[in-house]
Amino acid sequence: MEKGQKGYIDHKKKLNLGICIGFVFVIILLYVIGLLVFKTRNNYCTLVAVILVLPFAKFLVNLIICFRAKAIDKDFYEKIRATNYPHTDFDLILSNKQNPVSIEALALDNNTLYLYTRKKIDENFLRTNIKDFLSNVKIDANVNFISSEEKFIKELKSLNLKNRDEKEIARTKYLEKQILNMCV
């Protein structure tokens, strides 16, 4: 499953949970084998087990981030799909300088982002982080936050009425690619 698809957060939770359980199993197994074979804690098996704690911690952090994120409601997802607007992404976790932010739906148009989330967020902080990230790839984008489902749907319907040339479509796809690069 790719970033931006509905169900990505749940998929990421299951994947990271499985990997974390696997790491715990391997770490404990290596430690026990080292104790049984060498009759001491000071052995290569224990060393490898200790080294494996670092990648385990990375996956554990990702798991915690995914558990804090909110996935999009099925009804709202269906309403968005009914608009037939092509440049939408769902279940995103935007990384930034302080803490990751869960974005349930994202719509892109030329150089404008429309982000929907039910959670209370510091909009100015996140807007600045997104603009800083995009400025590194030479994109100047407008960032709009919408906290109402009705307003988000209304915005998508108005975007759907626009006529776009190939250049605008290409720019929108490039912007989408860069935003997905910013996501966990």
Q: Please say whether the beta carbons of 151 and 80 come within 8 A.
A: no
Q: Would you state the pLDDT for residue 162?
A: 75
Q: Answer yes or no: is pLDDT of 160 > 80.
A: no
Looking at residue 110, what is its pLDDT? 85
Q: How far is CA 109 from CA 85, 98, 162, 176, in A?
A: 10, 27, 10, 9
Mean pLDDT confidence for 98-121: 92
* Contact (CB, 8 A) for 113 and 143: yes
Q: How many CA atoms lie within 13 A of 167 on its CB side?
A: 0
Closest CA to 66 of 8, 128, 124: 8
Instruction: Report the percentage of the chain scoring pLDDT > 90.
Output: 84
Tokens of 15: 């994947």
Mean pLDDT of 149-170: 88
Mean pLDDT score, 119-136: 92
Q: What is the pLDDT of residue 97?
A: 78
Cβ–Cβ under 8 Å, residues 80 and 60: no
Nearest CA-CA partner of 134 in 176, 75, 184: 176
Q: What share of residues in the chain are helix, strand, coil (percent, to 5)?
A: 60, 15, 30
146-155: average pLDDT: 94
161 has pLDDT over 80 = no
Distance from chain centroid for Cα 139? 20
Residue 64 has pLDDT above 80, yes or no: yes
Q: What DSSP element (H or E) covers 104?
A: strand 101-109
Asked whether the predicted pLDDT for residue 163 surpasses 90, the reply is: no
pTM of the model: 0.86
Domain boundaries, the chain: 8-68, 74-182
Q: What pLDDT, on the 0 to 100 scale, is given for residue 119?
A: 84
